[in-house]
Amino acid sequence: MSLRIIVVLAVLTGVTGSPSVTIRPEADSADMTAHPNSVPETVEETEFFGKQNVSVEEEAEEDVMATGELNPNHYPAQRAAKVVQHYLNTQYGSPFRLFGLHNVQSGNAEDVADSGRKYQLEITVQEIISNTTEKCPAEVLFPRGEQRRSPQVQASCEELLKNTKAQEEALFKQYKMNPSLLSANNIPDSFGHMEPDSRPLWHLGIVASSFVMLNESTENTLYNMAQVANITQLETENEQLKFDCHILLHEMVSQEIIHWKLLFTWSPPEGVKVLQMEQLPHCHEGAKPPNTS
């Protein structure tokens, strides 16, 4: 009898105690069957695009915490810092330069009159391809108002801006001179694998997706890139490569997989420029994603 009482008490304690949550896409074999578009990412990039370790004690209290010093491992600081990653990719990303959030050292939040909420952060950013890191100060303002606007970001990580001009020009020439237009699907596949020649397209998809994630981010979201469902090179007469792309984003708070269609260009001098972005209808479980090519 006393053993049963101990077991029951242990179970109740686990249910009613303060939660400690790790935010990450959990996918075992059963989940992969139920959600075919929720895919793991490549091993080397999972730490930055597919996994965010955030311990949360009193999640509800943290979500409404208004001002002051933030726990760097809790939701508010991590969500704001993730926005900095998306911003850096939109400004400096390329097939040979990608930025990821390594960790948050400190954070502070304050209300700014009617403008919104400002986050002052000290973070470590990693340039993933060269595997180099730099500590960077950053500021993120989430605007207030009836009309939703994207966050305003100030951040500089000069030491991570390695010169990749030669690599980019070689890839641009290769893609420009191809006898046929490029096309690829499911990068990475449902096992997290991709062909080596698909990796630059994956990187381009990540950079383009950062424009969407930056635009859509709020204090209540946490976006990661999940997959390039398909990407197709389009004909162009100017010195830009143009791509039509269908991407899958993982919104980690709601655990939704969100489909977006993007039209973007890339060239070494101009970088990635997103011309159009459109959110696609939700796919029901087991349904085939819409054909956007």
Sequence spans of domains, the chain: 23-279
Q: Phi and psi dihedrals of 10, rounded to 5? A: -65, -40
Closest CA to 200 of 173, 180, 179, 224: 173
Digit-coded pLDDT (tens) for 6-36? 333 333 333 333 332 233 333 333 333 333 3
Give the whole-angstrom CA distance, residue 190 versus residue 193: 7
Q: Which two tokens stand for residue 161?
A: 């801006």
Asked if pLDDT for residue 246 goes beyond 70, the answer is yes
pTM score of the predicted model = 0.78
Closest CA to 199 of 283, 128, 146, 259: 128
* Average confidence score pLDDT of the chain: 80
Question: Of 7-11, 203-207, 251-255, which range is least confident?
Answer: 7-11
CATH: 3.10.450.10, 3.40.50.2300, 3.40.50.2020, 3.30.70.520. Which one for 23-279?
3.10.450.10
Say what the pLDDT of residue 268 is: 97
Say what the pLDDT of residue 212 is: 98
Say what the pLDDT of residue 3 is: 40
- Mean pLDDT of the 244-269 span: 96
Residue pair 28/68 in contact by the 8 Å Cβ criterion: no
Share of residues in the chain with pLDDT > 70 (%): 74
Whether cis (ω within 30° of 0) applies to the bond prior to 188 is: yes
Digit-coded pLDDT (tens) for 110-121? 998 888 999 999
Q: Which two tokens stand for residue 33?
A: 């069957």
DSSP bridge pairs for 279:
260
Asked if pLDDT for residue 41 goes beyond 70, the answer is no
Say what the pLDDT of residue 110 is: 94
